[in-house]
Amino acid sequence: MPQDSLWWRWERGGFGLGPADPVPAAPRIRLAGPAGTAPAFAARMAAAAFLPLAAALGTLVLVAAAGLDQARVEAAGLGMWFYGFFLDQFPLYAVALVYGVARVIAVTAEAMDRPVPLRLLGALLGLAVLLALSLHPTFGGLVLRGGFMVGGMTFLNGAPMPLAQALGALAAAFAFALPLGLAGLVGGRRRKPGWLLRGVLRFAALWWAFGLLALGRAFVAGWPARPLTEPGTLAAAGLITAAFLPHALLSALPRREAAARP
């Protein structure tokens, strides 16, 4: 049978294939994500998850080592932001703010699959909104004021104190999570299947964190009115770890991604 006949070409694998044409191999399907990339991906994910907690704890240690208190803050010219009722009642929010700043930077720095301009824009937007919500008009900003108002009004309307505190922590966590989510949406990794569930779980972890941070005044032994003592530093470090470790662990979970279609 002539090799250029239609029947011969069909037997060789289909129309359009000549005698020397190779039969195409089956397309490979690669699983994307942490399981299909180098270990560097997992390392970046872990760094983005746990470096914010390390930064918060490191800041606490530096504050204690330097003997930093409200008098020194005022002497440094920062007293217009760090003073007042909310600093006295919720002093560990200063450390939580460090966690938030570090988290915004880590999320956008780790997003290697996004263009650099988008990552920079996400970081700048997240930091600007976080600092504005935390320090305007003074320490605590709308984050702590919103939580205090919601909790206070709930209690005044006859709700039990635990419920009022939980709702106040929920309101504060929402305001705190907003700039973190904004930075992630603009300059973080591309959204993958399950991103909404992961976001809800991380928000629940921040709610837990703010519920614990409300207890901070009892752990810091009078700071910032006077310097942190060693027992106060250890107690505050334990509280910060218990507050933000769930959020860090959830942020470190590997992301499932759908297999690439041929």
Tell me the pLDDT tens digit for each residue of 78-93: 777 788 889 989 999 9
The residue type found at 68 is: L
Q: What is the pLDDT of residues 176-218, one digit of tens each?
A: 999 999 999 999 988 888 889 999 999 999 999 999 999 998 8
> Minimum mean pLDDT among 13-22, 59-68, 245-254: which range?
13-22
Report phi then psi at 187, rounded to 5. Answer: -120, 5
For residues 21-50, one letter each, b for 16 or more C-beta atoms within 10 angstroms of the residue's C-beta and e for the rest, the string is eeeeeeeeeeeeebeeeeeebeebbeebbb
Residues 51/54/55/57 CA torsion (nearest 10 deg)? 160
- Residue 221: predicted pLDDT: 77
Domain boundaries defined on the chain: 42-140+180-251
Q: What is the pLDDT of residue 134?
A: 96
Query: Where does the chain have alpha helices with state H?
Result: 6-11, 39-66, 70-75, 85-89, 93-110, 116-135, 141-156, 161-187, 195-213, 230-251
Give me 60's structure tokens: 């606490």
Give the C-alpha separation, 48 to 35, whole Å: 18
For residue 229, give the nearest of 57, 56, 58, 64 by alpha carbon.
64
Total-model pTM: 0.81
Report residue 10's pLDDT band, with 50, 70 and 90 as the boundaries.
Answer: very low
| pLDDT per residue as tens digits for the range 126-159 | 999 999 999 999 899 999 999 999 999 999 999 9
Q: Cβ-count burial of 204 within 10 angstroms (0-12 exposed, 13-18 middle, 19+ buried)?
A: middle
Length of the chain in residues, anyone? 262
User: Are residues 216 and 235 in contact, defined by beta-carbon separation less than 8 angstroms?
Assistant: no
Provide mean pLDDT across the span 57-73: 91
Query: How large is the average pLDDT for residues 235-242?
Result: 96
Among 1-5, 58-62, 75-79, 115-119, the range scoring the smallest mean pLDDT is 1-5
